C-alpha cells in the first residue's frame, strides 16, 4: 500500500485492484492526461482573448477547461468530505467555486489545471506494483507428501493438519512449520531467517515453511497449519504494517487539515460581520477574494515538483524512491537498522582461513575438499570450489546427511564434514577459534588422517565499515539485525564498527524490535530478503538492496538501492534530507504568501486580479526552488557498479525499476 494519498484523491489503491491500475509511465496517469486537455483548452481561451475573438468562445473554452481539470479532484474531494476528511483538495475546490462566483472562470480553470498537474505528479511518484506478497506465498510448494495410514499421500499444503507427518525429500521446500521426527540434513533457511550458511537439522529440531531441504530425507511432524505458519505470519505482518503506512497523510494534507476549516470560518465571519456593518455585496465579494487568496496553489504544486525532481535525481544515483511520502520519510530518518546477510555482506560465503596438520599444505587441503565438493550441491561447495583453480572431481562421492561427504581420489579415501563427525584432533583449538569468529568450519581427512580445517564465512562488503562510520558521523544511530547466530553476527559487527547487535532473530522478532526502535526515533530498516519483509514494512522507512534483493523485499520497501554499492545508502539519506529541506522552504513560502494576502484581501487593498498575480508569481518561485532538489553529486571515490552488465543509471530507468 502506498505511503500517502493524493491531496484530493480518494483512499489509496490497494490489493489486486491497485496492482492492475497503478501507473508506471507519465502518460498512464489519468490526472496528467486530464491536465493536458485542460491546459490545451486554457491555451485556446488565451489565444481567443488575445485575438479579440468572441467572448462566448473564450468563456466556453475556460468553462470546459475548468470541468476537465476539476474532474481529477472534485469528485474524490466530495467523497472524502462525506467521510469527514479534508485536505488541500477541499480548499482548492472552495477557491475554484469562489472564483466562478466572482465571474473569474479563467482563474478557476487555472487553479484546476495546476492542481490536476500536482495530483498527477504525486500519483506518478507513488507508482509501484504489489507483487511482493505473492512472491512470499510462492515459497510454499504447491503440494506436500504426508504419511497417513502407512501410505504416502500427496496433498495441498492447506490440507495438512497439526500432528501429520510430512515426508520431505532432498531439494524440496517445506510446506509448513514442523519438528523433525527422523532424518538429518542441512537446510537452506536463508529466505526465512537470513542465515547465510545452511543449518544442520536433526530429530527434535524446529523447521520452517519455505526452507529448502538439503541432501537428507526428513520426516517432519507438522506443528502449524498452512494458515498459521511462519510464512503466513510474515504476510500478516507486512499487510498490517503497509495498511498502517497507507493511512499516513503527506505533508500538504497535514498542513491543510487545520488550514481549511480555519479559512472557511474566517471567510464566513467576514461575509456575515461585514454584511451587518456595511454593504453585503462588497463584503461577500471580499470574503470570496479571501478564499481565493487562501488557496494554497503554490503549496499544491511545489511539493510534487520537488518530489519528482528529487526522485528522478535519486534514480540516476541508483536509488529508487517510491513516492513523496517515502522521500519525506527518508529525510526524517535518524536511526538505521541494517540486516547482515546480503546487506552488510555480499551473501556469497568465501574461504577465509585454512589450518593444516603435519606436512599437509593449504593447497592440498583445499584440493581434497574441492574434489568432494565438485560433486556436491551443498551451498558451501561454491565457496570451496572458488578457492581452487582446477579441481579434480572425486569418485564414488556420497553425502552423509547432517554430517558431510565421502569419496575416492587417486586411491585415497577422502572425508569432509563438520567437527564431531570428524575428530578435529590437534586442530581442535583452531576449529573453535574459527567458529568463535563466526565462520563455518569443515574438516578434511584422507585415509583416516586429518589434513586440515577450512573456515567459510560470508564476508563484509568492502565499503561496509566506511558506510557505518559515515552514518555514525552524520548523527545516525546504527544497529545490526540478523537471523544468524550470535558469534557470526558479533564478529562481523565488530569489523563493521557496529556496537548494537541483535542476532538469532525470526522475521516477527525483527518486526517487534523495529517497532520498539521506532518509538525512540524515526527508524529505517535496510534488508534484502524475504525474512526482512516484516521489518521493512514495520519501519518508518524500509530500504531494500535492490540488485541483490528478493522481489518481496523490493516491493515491501519504500526505497530500493538498485546497485550493489552500500555507499548509496548515506548518499540517499543526504539527498532526501536536502529535498525535505527544500520542501519545507516551499511550504513556508507558500504559507507566508497566504498569511500576507488574506488581510490585504480583507481590507480591500488587493482585488482578485492582484491576488491571482501574486499567486502566479509565487508558483514560479516555488517551482524553481523545487527543481533544485534534482541536483545530485555522484559517488566520488568509485564509479557506480553495473547491474548484470547494465549501468546503474540505465537499469533504474527500466520498467523493472518502476514495477519493482
Question: Which of helix, strand or coil describes residue 217?
Answer: coil
CB of 615 within 8 A of CB of 291? Answer: no
Decide if 447 is catalytic.
Answer: no
Nearest in space to 659 (alpha carbons), one of 99, 18, 229, 82: 18
Q: Which residue has the cell 462566448?
A: 56
Distance CA 599, CA 224 (A): 67
Distance CA 13, CA 32 (A): 17
CA-CA distances (angstroms) from residue 163 to 44, 178, 226, 659?
Answer: 74, 9, 13, 41
CB of 181 within 8 A of CB of 165? Answer: yes
Distance CA 569, CA 464 (A): 10
CA-CA distances (angstroms) from residue 491 to 459, 463, 532, 592?
Answer: 10, 17, 21, 54
- Radius of gyration (Cα) for the chain, nearest Å? 31
What is the separation of C-alpha 401 from the centre of its chain, rounded to a whole number of angstroms? Answer: 38
Strands 218-222 and 185-187: unpaired
CB of 534 within 8 A of CB of 554? Answer: no
Cell of 361: 599444505
Q: At CA 19, angle to CA 15 and CA 24, rounded to 5? A: 150
Residue 393 neighbours by CB distance under 10 Å: 13
Q: What is the dihedral of CA 253, 254, 258, 259, to 10 degrees?
A: -50
Q: Which of 164, 177, 339, 558 does the annotation list as catalytic?
A: 339
Cell of 262: 480555519
- Tell me which residues are annotated as active site: 339
Amino acid at each position: 500500500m502506498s505511503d500517502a494519498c493524493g491531496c484530493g484523491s480518494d483512499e489509496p489503491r490497494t490489493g489486486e485492484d491497485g496492482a492492475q491500475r497503478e501507473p508506471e509511465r507519465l502518460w498512464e496517469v489519468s490526472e496528467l492526461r486530464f491536465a493536458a486537455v485542460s491546459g490545451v483548452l486554457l491555451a485556446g481561451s488565451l489565444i481567443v482573448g488575445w485575438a479579440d475573438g468572441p467572448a462566448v468562445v473564450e468563456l466556453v473554452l475556460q468553462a470546459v477547461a475548468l470541468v476537465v481539470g476539476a474532474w481529477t479532484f472534485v469528485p474524490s474531494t466530495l467523497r472524502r468530505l462525506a467521510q469527514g476528511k479534508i485536505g488541500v483538495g477541499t480548499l482548492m475546490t472552495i477557491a475554484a467555486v469562489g472564483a466562478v462566483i466572482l465571474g473569474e472562470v479563467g482563474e478557476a480553470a487555472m487553479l484546476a489545471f495546476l492542481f490536476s498537474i500536482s495530483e498527477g505528479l504525486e500519483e506518478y511518484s507513488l507508482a509501484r506494483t504489489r507483487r511482493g506478497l505473492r512472491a512470499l506465498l510462492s515459497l510454499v510448494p504447491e503440494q506436500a507428501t504426508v504419511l497417513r495410514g502407512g501410505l504416502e499421500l500427496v496433498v495441498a499444503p492447506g490440507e495438512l493438519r497439526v500432528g501429520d507427518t510430512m515426508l520431505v525429500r532432498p531439494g524440496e521446500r517445506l510446506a509448513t512449520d514442523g519438528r523433525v521426527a527422523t532424518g538429518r540434513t542441512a537446510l537452506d533457511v536463508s529466505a526465512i531467517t537470513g542465515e547465510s550458511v545452511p543449518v544442520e537439522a536433526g530429530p527434535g529440531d524446529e523447521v520452517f515453511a519455505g526452507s529448502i531441504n538439503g541432501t537428507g530425507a526428513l520426516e517432519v511432524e507438522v506443528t502449524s497449519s498452512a494458515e498459521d505458519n511462519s510464512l503466513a505470519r510474515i504476510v500478516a505482518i507486512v499487510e498490517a504494517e503497509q495498511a498502517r503506512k497507507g493511512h499516513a497523510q503527506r505533508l500538504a494534507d497535514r498542513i491543510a487539515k487545520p488550514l481549511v476549516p480555519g479559512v472557511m470560518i474566517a471567510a464566513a465571519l467576514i461575509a456575515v460581520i461585514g454584511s451587518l456593518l456595511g454593504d453585503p455585496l462588497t463584503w461577500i465579494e471580499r470574503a470570496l477574494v479571501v478564499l481565493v487568496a487562501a488557496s494554497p496553489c503554490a503549496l499544491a504544486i511545489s511539493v510534487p515538483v520537488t518530489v519528482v525532481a528529487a526522485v528522478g535525481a535519486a534514480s540516476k544515483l541508483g536509488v529508487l524512491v517510491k513516492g513523496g511520502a517515502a522521500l519525506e520519510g527518508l529525510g526524517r530518518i535518524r536511526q538505521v537498522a541494517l540486516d547482515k546477510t546480503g546487506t552488510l555482506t555480499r551473501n556469497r560465503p568465501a574461504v577465509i582461513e585454512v589450518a593444516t596438520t603435519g606436512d599437509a599444505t593449504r593447497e592440498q587441503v583445499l584440493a581434497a575438499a574441492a574434489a568432494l565438493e565438485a560433486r556436491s550441491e551443498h551451498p558451501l561447495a561454491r565457496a570451496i570450489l572458488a578457492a581452487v583453480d582446477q579441481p579434480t572431481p572425486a569418485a564414488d562421492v556420497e553425502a552423509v546427511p547432517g554430517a558431510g561427504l565421502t569419496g575416492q581420489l587417486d586411491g585415497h579415501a577422502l572425508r569432509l564434514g563438520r567437527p564431531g563427525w570428524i575428530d578435529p584432533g590437534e586442530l581442535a583449538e583452531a576449529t573453535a577459534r574459527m567458529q568463535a569468529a563466526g565462520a563455518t568450519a569443515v574438516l578434511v581427512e584422507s585415509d583416516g588422517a586429518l589434513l586440515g580445517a577450512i573456515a567459510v564465512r560470508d564476508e563484509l562488503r568492502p565499503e561496509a565499515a566506511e558506510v557505518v562510520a559515515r552514518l555514525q558521523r552524520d548523527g545516525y544511530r546504527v544497529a545490526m539485525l540478523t537471523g544468524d547466530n550470535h558469534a557470526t553476527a558479533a564478529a562481523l559487527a565488530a569489523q563493521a564498527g557496529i556496537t548494537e547487535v541483535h542476532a538469532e532473530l525470526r522475521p516477527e522478532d525483527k518486526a517487534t524490535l523495529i517497532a520498539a526502535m521506532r518509538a525512540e526515533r524515526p527508524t529505517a530498516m535496510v534488508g534484502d530478503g524475504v525474512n526482512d519483509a516484516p521489518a521493512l514494512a514495520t519501519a518508518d522507512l524500509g530500504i531494500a538492496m535492490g540488485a541483490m534483493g528478493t522481489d518481496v523485499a523490493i516491493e515491501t520497501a519504500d526505497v530500493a538501492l538498485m546497485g550493489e554499492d552500500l555507499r548509496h545508502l548515506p548518499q540517499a539519506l543526504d539527498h532526501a534530507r536536502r529535498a525535505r529541506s527544500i520542501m519545507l522552504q516551499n511550504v513556508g513560502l507558500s504559507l507566508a504568501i497566504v498569511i500576507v494576502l488574506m488581510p490585504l484581501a480583507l481590507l480591500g487593498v488587493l482585488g482578485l486580479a492582484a491576488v491571482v498575480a501574486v499567486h502566479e508569481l509565487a508558483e514560479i518561485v516555488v517551482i524553481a526552488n523545487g527543481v533544485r532538489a534534482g541536483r545530485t553529486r555522484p559517488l566520488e571515490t568509485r564509479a557506480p557498479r553495473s547491474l548484470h552488465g547494465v549501468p546503474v543509471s540505465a537499469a533504474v530507468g527500466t520498467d523493472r525499476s518502476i514495477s519493482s
